Structure 1
Amino acid sequence: MAQAQPRREQDMDEQLHQPQEVEGGNQQQPQQHQEVPSSEQAAIRYGHVFAVTGDLAGQPISPRDAAAMRSAEDSVAGVQVPEAAGGGFSAATAMETAAAYNTAVGAVGPDQASDAAAVHGISVTQTAVPGGRVVTEFVAGQVVGQYSVADPPPASEQDATKITIGEALEATARAGGGRPIDRADAEAIRAAEMSALGADVAMPGGLGDVARAAARANTQVTRDDDKVKIGDVLSDATAKLAGDKAAATEDATRVVQAEKFNDAGARPRAGGVGAAVATAASLNEDNALGGDAAQ
């Protein structure tokens, strides 16, 4: 299967404006210094989220861009329901989160589109492969997402009594979705994503990367009302993950450790991602023991 395109994790470079001096006789003009508005500095740009270059990298992700990508995904059969085909992370999901944030901080207007996307367009294609399909997504001719969507497993392989990691993340969104996401939350989400995929590395462009970008953006914002919330990232987590599995004790341990390591007080969060995965793992274990006892 093709892997998602890696996303840039570097922070936005600070824009420096050098003062100019104009000599006239024995006098110099006062130095001028322009500052970029804070709303523009806080904007989440394409280069923060996707591995793109040129003019596109420096442009804020706008609401009309996100809407166009969602429409493009919906126009390709199968792309709009990745949760029914083994998972898959879409660019539209990341763009919608970024555009909502950019609108909230005043970096873009509610009906604004980026120049590059307006001129060169947004599109989605898919290619059939054994066992599933590969979806590729473009903004202004540059790839912003490429991921695989597997065919659904036979119904006999699914255990409806087990709580999955994706469901645990969604429970976090319901319980504490109004809290601004920070680094500890983002790293816990990243660890949960790796556990769900059964991997030692996170999926580039996946849910963990979106969480990291949101946490970084929040550090530039003063008002909590303008920050990206946990619910913005984790709503419909099962659909956003490229894979999912029943939560187990080792998954909970991995997530809690990531959360504690990145928390200022080195403590797991009450009602946080670690607590949700730990609860799901405990319930799954209890259900398994109960099932064994009944046999």
Structure 2
Amino acid sequence: MSQEQPRRPQEDKQQDKPQPIKYGDVFSVSGDLAKKPIAPQDANMMQTAETMVFGQTQKGGPAAVMQSAATRNERSGLVRHDQVTDVGGNEGVTVTETDVPGSRIVTETVGGQVIGQYVQPTPVAQVAAGGFMEQNEITIGEALEASAQTAGDKPIDQSDAAAIQAAEVRATGSNVISPGGLAAMAQSAAAYNAGTQREQDKIKLTDVLSGATAKLPADKAVTRQDAEGIASAELRNNLEMGRRPGGVAASVTAAARLNENIKM
């Protein structure tokens, strides 16, 4: 009569160790991607991509699922806040639109694998030959608008104001802060909020950054250098010394990564 072999202590420890939520746990994907933990910067890139297409992230959509999973992974100490998977970073996170008679098909992918698809009424946007939407590079103004969608309820503090000022400087190419511009509004909001006790009375990101593109005197496509400069400004003025999920720097960084993927 055979006896069951006793488990080794290391095997028990491996089974007891918390495991991150992987792409294969929540999406119908395969291969290397299925084994990858959902990382915060992957989620930020998808949030930005969805916002560019839909105007906001989709409730219950891939970006929301990814953000929830990434937040849980980060809180459990299983991924870093600035972590991006090699699949997402190298092969891209995309939201594409295809025009077919009477409807528009929106497809969301990570590393070339579909994680979400929507069918909508006939699109109002212009499509290029072949039926695919022309994907333009994301501008700094559009990235700021994306942060208004993803973190719009956050009261503006000095780190937000610094990031917005850095964004305006890079968008316009001028160190002169325009009176009544985004940077000036953000600085005023941060000063006001610092002396305001009740959260509901504070000025939020969405109050300043909604329609950011129209409020900028000039704009440009986001580059990695822009993202690094804006993130540096945010961190220098952030007592917690951490980039906020969906905040100004995170949205600009996600936009820069998406732009790099477009150029590939």
Relative to the length of structure 1, the TM-score reads 0.43
Which structure has the larger Rg?
Answer: 1
Relative to the length of structure 2, the TM-score reads 0.48
